[in-house]
Amino acid sequence: MKIIYRYLFKKFLGPFALTFFFALFVLLMQYLWRYVDELVGKGLEISVVLEFLFYASGAGMVVLAAPLAVLLASLMTFGSLGEQYEIIAMKSAGISIRKLIFSLALCSFIIAIGSFCFADKVAPRAYFKMRTLLRNIRDQKPTLAIEEGVFYNGFDNYSIRVGRKGRNNVDIYDILLSDHSKYQGNTTFTYAKRGKMQATEDKMYMLFYLYDGFLWDESTNSNNSSKNPLARYTFSEQYKKFDISSFKFEKSDDNFYSRKEMALSNSKIVKTIDTIMISVEKNNEDIMTCFFSSCNSFKSFIYSDEMDTEKTNTFKMSYNDFNTKEKRESLDKIIALKNDFKNELNMNREYKKYLMANINSYRVEWLKKYVIATACILFFFIGAPLGSIIRKGGIGVPLVITVAFFSTYFMLSIFGEKLAKGGAVPVWFGTWLSTFIILPICAFLTYQASVDSALLSSEELYKKLQQLNLNKFFVRKKNENTATHA
């Protein structure tokens, strides 16, 4: 038995490692395509891009690749065993298919535990590093945004065209600068054969050093708009400075993404939820305080000297005791207090909705780590029995089945999370929705495999197709078409 179990482990671990890195590569490419606009055309070093991909893989790609690899590897392993009649040989030795499946299920349990630990300890830190690095990448250098032969309009009231740039992105040649600061159109130009451009260390200004050029100015004189004098100056060296403070993207500090739900472990998520619940309770208290404050304000108004025109100590407790002026004043005061209370209530209600949405997001992320770990186990109990039933090894058929199951599971997960975060369904139900749907499929396939069912085998499907007499149907249709054309 130990030899057989060892053989099964070796048979499973090889395809698992291969499919894991394959799935990780596919997911990373999909993720890279999502942020390609942020990375391309900014002169980033290859080390920066690799660092971004490294953190992106740790932030969530590894966790997603694990159940996908388990499903594909289990399908390939048991499909290969069935295709080579090794399962039949093991059954003849007294080892049932159920015992084979449950003995190898230990691997899926170990992978599930590793997936949860990685999602709880490593993934939050990787997500924080990835988002911080992405924020820094978005701090684009304006020098690299100026393309050769294209007018760049990023500077206020100026357009610049650089004919050619040096390899260092500092030396520039064939420069044409159009000045629109006088709001008279294209009337002032500066041309230089060569120059240099570079940003200051604080990235607040862009400096242009222009050499061997001339300035062309035919703008209208502000004192005499009827005259358009033409001025042409030559220069050997000219200096231009542009304010680019608006281009500067503030670098992330260490705490910018530290409170995001994906950057927290489960223990920190629980503490954050407790903190938000305190804010929710305080918001409820503020609503009651606002209500009693409005009541007291109206009471003080009624009992004030302004409402007692006779300056007596007798209070008017009935509306009929007021004169016309006092009635109008009291009604106006009631309407004003009602509107104030209504506005305050709406503000508190929106704030509470915002807090509850945050709580739902944190709870979804807390449960999501358990859901993905559970998916590693469930996907094994889909792939192993299904592979033993269809008896097809290799990569073709298992890959098609894996993509179909994983895509369905992934869409159900996103759908359930959206419902949970929006408050349409309880958080636990929305997060576990995909698991609830896929669990009966696991039980059904495991049962079918344990009783040697041929329900989904290729031979059985072929027999079913033969029973439908599809060949006769197509031959008859062909004869009818031939007779019709004749």
> What is the distance between the alpha carbons of residues 97 and 449, in angstroms, rounded to a whole number?
7
d(CA 201, CA 337): 56
What pLDDT is stored for residue 317 in this prediction? 52
Question: Which residues touch 218 (CB under 8 Å, ≥6 apart)?
Answer: 187, 188, 228, 229, 230, 231
Burial 249-286 (b: 16+ CB within 10 A, else e): eeebeeeebeeebbbbbbebbeebbeebeeeeeebeeb
Rounded to 5 degrees, φ, ψ at 228 are: -120, 75
Q: Which of 17-26, 120-129, 276-285, 414-423 has the lowest mean pLDDT?
A: 276-285
- Secondary structure (3-state) at 24: helix
Q: What is the DSSP letter of 60?
A: I
* 194 Cα distance to chain centroid: 45
Find, among 328, 464, 377, the residue nearest to 74 by Cα. Answer: 377
User: Is a pLDDT exceeding 60 seen at residue 314?
Assistant: no
The CA radius of gyration of the chain, in Å to the nearest whole number, is 37
How remote is the C-alpha of 184 from its chain's centroid? 46
DSSP class of residue 245 equals: G
Tokens of 321: 């005791």
pLDDT at 113: 93
Query: What percent of the chain stands above pLDDT 90?
Result: 8
Q: Quote the tokens at residue 423.
A: 């408050």
* Backbone dihedral angles phi then psi of residue 234, each to the nearest 5 degrees: -110, 155
Cα(80)–Cα(85) distance, integer angstroms: 8
298: pLDDT strictly greater than 70: no
Contacts of 210 (CB under 8 A, 6+ apart): 175, 177, 190, 192, 194, 195, 235, 237, 238, 239, 240
Dihedral sign (CA 229, 234, 239, 241):
positive
Query: What percentage of the chain reaches a pLDDT higher than 70?
Result: 77
User: Could you say which DSSP state residue 148 is in?
Assistant: B
- pLDDT for 305 equals 46
Name residue 173's beta-bridge partners: 164, 194
pLDDT (tens digit, 9 = 90+) per residue, 449-473? 877 765 555 555 555 556 555 555 5
| Contact by Cβ (8 Å): 191, 179 | no
Those residues whose C-beta lies under 8 Å from the C-beta of residue 386, and which sit 6 or more positions away, are 75, 78, 401, 445, 449, 456
Which amino acid belongs to residue 273? I
Rounded CA-CA distance 235/42 in Å is: 33
What pLDDT is stored for residue 300 in this prediction? 62
How many alpha carbons lie under 13 Å from residue 411 in its C-beta half-sphere? 5
Residues in a beta bridge with 205: 243
Instruction: Sheet containing 188-199: give its strands across.
Output: 151-152, 158-165, 171-179, 188-199, 205-217, 231-243
Contact 153, 178 (CB under 8 A): no
pLDDT given at position 143: 47
* β-pairing verdict for 171-179 and 188-199: antiparallel
Per-residue confidence (pLDDT) for residue 460, from 0 to 100: 57
The pLDDT tens digits of the residues spanning 10-64 come to 888 888 998 899 888 888 888 888 877 777 766 567 887 888 888 888 888 888 8
Average pLDDT over residues 463-484: 56
Phi, psi of 175 (to 5 degrees): -100, 135
**Cα distance from N-terminal residue to C-terminal residue, the chain:** 69
What is the distance, to the nearest Å, from the Cα of residue 410 to the centroid of all Cα atoms in its chain?
14
Give the Cα separation of 192 and 239 in Å (integer): 11
Name the pLDDT band for 310 (thresholds 50, 70, 90). very low
* In contact, 133 and 124? CB cutoff 8 Å: no
342 burial via Cβ count (<10 Å: 0-12, 13-18, 19+)? exposed
Per-residue tokens: 12: 């499973």
Nearest to residue 329, comparing CAs of 292, 302, 311?
302
What backbone phi and psi angles, to 5 degrees, belong to 311?
A: 55, 40
- What mean pLDDT, rounded, does the chain reach? 78
